[in-house]
């Protein structure tokens, strides 16, 4: 294989990398030792939010800033570790008063507002389960997730509640309380003011009583078939959050750290809340949406040391041009990393040339809970490669055998990326779907559904997905939700969704629709269907393009062959599918 490597030289005065000798760290690693760095609660307890806040306060670091919040209208608010500890205590006390406790799900549907952080941490302290929902989801994805999670409490804003939840409340019998972050007093039965209720609570609370294997986080993710699945994570995951923050992101106490991912998704929770706080860093949260000039100003003014972002954002920065970066002093930046989609070599090199920091690609999934494969600060980068497994993580390229076993493949051979089961942040199940969980494992390995290769030096290279899930602007979208909503329209007989390559979003959602007899394809109908889907699914999930077809290609058993739709889109002859992924998915 032909690759170039980027070697790096530390700037004068920069601290040495946290991971200095990769091979030695792997050889001597044990999860037990990593676990021992955390503070166990009375008995054998462990709690993510305690590790993230109170532990620092008790160690005398309570006055360090934990959160710098930048509002979209120019506000700047800071919260120390002690303040976050008190706020989350209050929220935990409030939950307890509402009768919410161990294992109950608390959902948040909000943008990047300070209340979200108090909610996440307070929920964990109360022993309940935090489940984030992306605020750009429409009513349909929100309802499915609230319903499947059996959420008892929802924290949201007035506008989001009115647009996405209120009219569906009858379909959500488990949802006892909605707390509005911008409502005053009692709003209506079952809807209260977050702040009014919080004001009645005490700052104090005895240490949480959770155990390492208690459910802590629930993250929804999509597959090819069926509704989204809720991946269960437990408090023990914090062992991996802390370790990967330190080794893969090079985080150290009092670093200024910025993760641009939204906390409506797993990255924004694992690395936008837990990993930075557990490592004692100061995290920057920007409420506003992407804007190149604003982003450079934040990197400069907040003197960000460690930056974790995504290829979609990097592509947009590249589009804005090097000129936009020119007058900004980015000298504080010590480490830049990327996740979520393929990061091409151009992106890595652009970081080096424009930010003076190459982007270090990292790979993981909702199911893995934490970074599993990374390019490390101490090592040369192979641009285009996802890097090497974390100490404590064993990764391999495998092929599934028909008998249910697996074969390990040789370097250079393309196969499915698998991880040996057993790291602390590995998901412990899909909520109420034991069968689907079981199917993710073979011979003691977790099968990721990603296709990749490994080179002779152990670096992993991403190839594609083995199923029909796509990434649009870094967000995962499965065909099920999109196709189902389109089929609810009276004119639609069948619908199929694919990811269409896009210069900025990576892929955009494109739908193919066959109409029912009596309906004719027209521009007006296309617009109507796109609008229909957008109203229900929201801008994060809805198709951006829609094409009418006479009928959809299907297998003999009636499954839509989306790879043929992709071939058609890419202008490939249907016979030449060499660049496309497999037909059969792990869920088929």
**Which residues, in sequence order, are CB contacts of 317 under 8 Å at separation 6+?**
292, 295, 324, 325, 350, 354
Select the span of 235-243, 337-345, 406-414, 558-566 touching ligand WT7 (CB under 6 A).
337-345
Q: How far apart are CA 529 and CA 522, in angstroms?
A: 11
Given a contact cutoff of 8 angstroms between Cβ atoms, the answer to whether 544 and 509 are in contact is yes
Please tell me whether residue 363 binds ligand WT7 under the rule CB under 6 A: yes
- Residue in 111, 342, 345, 458 binding ligand WT7, rule: CB under 6 A: 342
Cα dist from 545 to 439, 444, 475, 535, whole Å: 33, 41, 17, 15
| C-beta of 525 vs 540, nearer to ligand WT7 | 540
**Which residues, in sequence order, are CB contacts of 281 under 8 Å at separation 6+?**
245, 251, 252, 253, 254, 255, 256, 257, 306
Please tell me whether residue 339 binds ligand WT7 under the rule CB under 6 A: yes
The residue behind tokens 């929902």 is 133
Taking the complex as a whole, how short is the minimal distance between the CB of residue 341 and ligand WT7, in angstroms?
5
**Quick check: helix, strand or coil at residue 462?**
strand
* Helix or strand run (H / E) with residue 476: strand 475-477
- Looking only at the bridges linking them, the beta strands covering 335-339 and 306-309 are parallel
| C-beta of 363 vs 446, nearer to ligand WT7 | 363
**Which residues, in sequence order, are CB contacts of 198 under 8 Å at separation 6+?**
87, 90, 91, 94, 118
Cα dist from 64 to 67, 203, 238, 308, 510, whole Å: 9, 18, 21, 21, 47
Taking the complex as a whole, how short is the minimal distance between the CB of residue 96 and ligand WT7, in angstroms?
31
Taking the complex as a whole, how short is the minimal distance between the CB of residue 330 and ligand WT7, in angstroms?
23
Q: How far apart are CA 57 and CA 82, in angstroms?
A: 6
Looking at beta carbons, which residue is closest to ligand WT7?
Answer: 366
Residue 14: DSSP 8-state: P
| C-beta of 208 vs 392, nearer to ligand WT7 | 392
**Quick check: helix, strand or coil at residue 502?**
strand
Taking the complex as a whole, how short is the minimal distance between the CB of residue 465 and ligand WT7, in angstroms?
5
Print the binding letters for residues 285-324 with ligand WT7: x by CB under 6 A, - otherwise.
----------------------------------------
- Residues within window 421-450 making contact with ligand WT7, judged by CB under 6 A: 448, 450
Please tell me whether residue 585 binds ligand WT7 under the rule CB under 6 A: no
- Residues within window 61-80 making contact with ligand WT7, judged by CB under 6 A: none
- Residues within window 383-402 making contact with ligand WT7, judged by CB under 6 A: 386
Which tokens sit at 501? Answer: 């390559």
- Residues within window 404-423 making contact with ligand WT7, judged by CB under 6 A: none
- Residues within window 446-465 making contact with ligand WT7, judged by CB under 6 A: 448, 450, 462, 465
Taking the complex as a whole, how short is the minimal distance between the CB of residue 41 and ligand WT7, in angstroms?
28
- Residue in 365, 375, 388, 466 binding ligand WT7, rule: CB under 6 A: 365
**Which residues, in sequence order, are CB contacts of 321 under 8 Å at separation 6+?**
none
Helix intervals (H) in 76-228? 81-97, 114-125, 139-149, 158-164, 194-199
| C-beta of 71 vs 464, nearer to ligand WT7 | 464
| C-beta of 212 vs 340, nearer to ligand WT7 | 340
| C-beta of 118 vs 442, nearer to ligand WT7 | 442
Nearest-Å Rg of the Cα atoms of the chain is 23
Sign of CA dihedral 574, 577, 579, 584: positive
Between helix 292-301 and helix 311-320 the angle, nearest 10°, is 100
Taking the complex as a whole, how short is the minimal distance between the CB of residue 572 and ligand WT7, in angstroms?
21
Q: How far apart are CA 446 and CA 41, in angstroms?
A: 30
Select the span of 9-17, 46-54, 360-368, 553-561 touching ligand WT7 (CB under 6 A).
360-368
Given a contact cutoff of 8 angstroms between Cβ atoms, the answer to whether 393 and 445 are in contact is no
Query: CB count, 10 Å around CB of 301?
Result: 14
Select the span of 82-90, 184-192, 358-366, 549-557 touching ligand WT7 (CB under 6 A).
358-366
Taking the complex as a whole, how short is the minimal distance between the CB of residue 473 and ligand WT7, in angstroms?
12
| C-beta of 459 vs 462, nearer to ligand WT7 | 462
Q: How far apart are CA 118 and CA 347, in angstroms?
A: 35
Q: How far apart are CA 222 and CA 199, in angstroms?
A: 38
- Residues within window 233-272 making contact with ligand WT7, judged by CB under 6 A: 266-267
- Residue in 47, 135, 221, 279 binding ligand WT7, rule: CB under 6 A: 221
Taking the complex as a whole, how short is the minimal distance between the CB of residue 382 and ligand WT7, in angstroms?
13
CA 94 to chain CA mean position, Å: 28
Select the span of 124-132, 153-161, 240-248, 355-363 touching ligand WT7 (CB under 6 A).
355-363
Size of the site for ligand WT7 (CB under 6 A): 21
Taking the complex as a whole, how short is the minimal distance between the CB of residue 271 and ligand WT7, in angstroms?
9
- Residues within window 183-212 making contact with ligand WT7, judged by CB under 6 A: none
Taking the complex as a whole, how short is the minimal distance between the CB of residue 290 and ligand WT7, in angstroms?
17
| C-beta of 343 vs 552, nearer to ligand WT7 | 343
Please tell me whether residue 375 binds ligand WT7 under the rule CB under 6 A: no
**Quick check: helix, strand or coil at residue 545?**
strand
Residues found near ligand WT7 in the complex (CB under 6 A): 221, 266-267, 339-343, 361-366, 386, 448, 450, 462, 465, 471, 476
């Amino acid at each position: 294989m032909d690759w170039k490597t980027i070697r790096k030289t530390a700037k004068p005065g920069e601290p040495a990398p946290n991971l200095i000798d990769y091979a030695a760290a792997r050889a001597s690693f044990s999860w037990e030792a990593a676990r021992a760095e955390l503070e166990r609660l009375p008995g054998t307890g462990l709690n993510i939010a305690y590790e993230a806040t109170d532990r620092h306060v008790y160690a005398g670091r309570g006055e360090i800033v934990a959160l710098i919040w930048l509002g979209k209208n120019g506000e700047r608010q800071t919260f120390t570790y002690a303040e976050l500890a008190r706020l989350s205590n209050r929220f935990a006390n409030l939950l307890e008063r509402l009768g919410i406790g161990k294992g109950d799900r608390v959902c948040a549907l909000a943008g990047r507002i300070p209340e979200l952080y108090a909610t996440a941490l307070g929920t964990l302290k109360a022993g309940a389960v935090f489940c984030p929902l992306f605020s750009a989801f429409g009513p349909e994805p929100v309802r499915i997730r609230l319903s499947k999670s059996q959420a008892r409490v929802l924290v949201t804003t007035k506008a989001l509640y009115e647009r996405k939840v209120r009219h569906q409340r009858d379909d959500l019998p488990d949802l006892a309380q909605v707390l509005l972050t911008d409502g005053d007093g009692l709003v209506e039965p079952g809807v209260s003011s977050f702040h009014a209720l919080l004001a009645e609570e005490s700052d104090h609370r005895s240490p949480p009583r959770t155990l390492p294997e208690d459910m802590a986080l629930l993250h929804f993710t999509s597959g090819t078939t069926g509704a989204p699945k809720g991946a269960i994570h437990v408090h023990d995951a914090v062992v991996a959050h802390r370790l990967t923050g330190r080794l893969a992101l090079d985080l150290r106490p009092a670093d200024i750290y910025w993760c641009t991912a939204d906390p409506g998704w797993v990255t924004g929770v694992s690395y936008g809340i837990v990993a930075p706080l557990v490592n004692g860093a100061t995290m920057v949260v920007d409420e506003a949406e992407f804007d190149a000039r604003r982003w450079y100003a934040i990197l400069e003014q907040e003197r960000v040391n460690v930056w974790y972002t995504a290829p979609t954002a990097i592509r947009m920065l590249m589009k804005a041009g090097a000129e936009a970066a020119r007058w900004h002093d980015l000298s504080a930046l010590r480490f830049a990393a990327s996740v979520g989609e393929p990061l091409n070599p151009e992106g890595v090199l652009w970081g080096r040339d424009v930010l003076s920091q190459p982007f270090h690609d990292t790979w993981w999934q909702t199911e893995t809970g934490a970074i599993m494969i990374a390019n490390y600060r101490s090592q040369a980068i192979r641009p285009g490669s996802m890097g090497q497994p974390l100490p404590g993580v064993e990764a391999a390229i495998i092929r599934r055998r028909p008998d249910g076993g697996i074969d390990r493949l040789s370097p250079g051979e393309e196969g499915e990326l698998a991880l040996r089961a057993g790291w602390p942040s590995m998901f412990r199940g899909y909520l109420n779907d034991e069968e689907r969980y079981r199917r993710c494992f073979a011979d003691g390995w977790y099968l990721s559904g990603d296709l990749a290769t490994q080179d002779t030096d152990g670096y992993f290279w991403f190839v594609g997905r083995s199923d029909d899930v796509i990434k649009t602007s870094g967000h995962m979208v499965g065909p099920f939700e999109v196709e189902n909503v389109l089929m609810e329209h009276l004119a639609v007989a069948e619908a199929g969704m694919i990811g269409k390559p896009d210069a900025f979003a990576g892929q955009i959602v494109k739908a193919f629709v066959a109409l029912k007899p009596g309906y004719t394809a027209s521009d007006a109908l296309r617009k109507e269907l796109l609008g229909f889907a957008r109203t229900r699914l929201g801008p994060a999930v809805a198709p951006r393009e829609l094409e009418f077809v006479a009928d959809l290609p299907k297998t003999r058993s009636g499954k839509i062959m989306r790879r043929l739709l992709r071939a058609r889109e890419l202008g490939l002859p249907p016979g030449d599918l060499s660049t496309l992924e497999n037909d059969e998915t792990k869920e088929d």
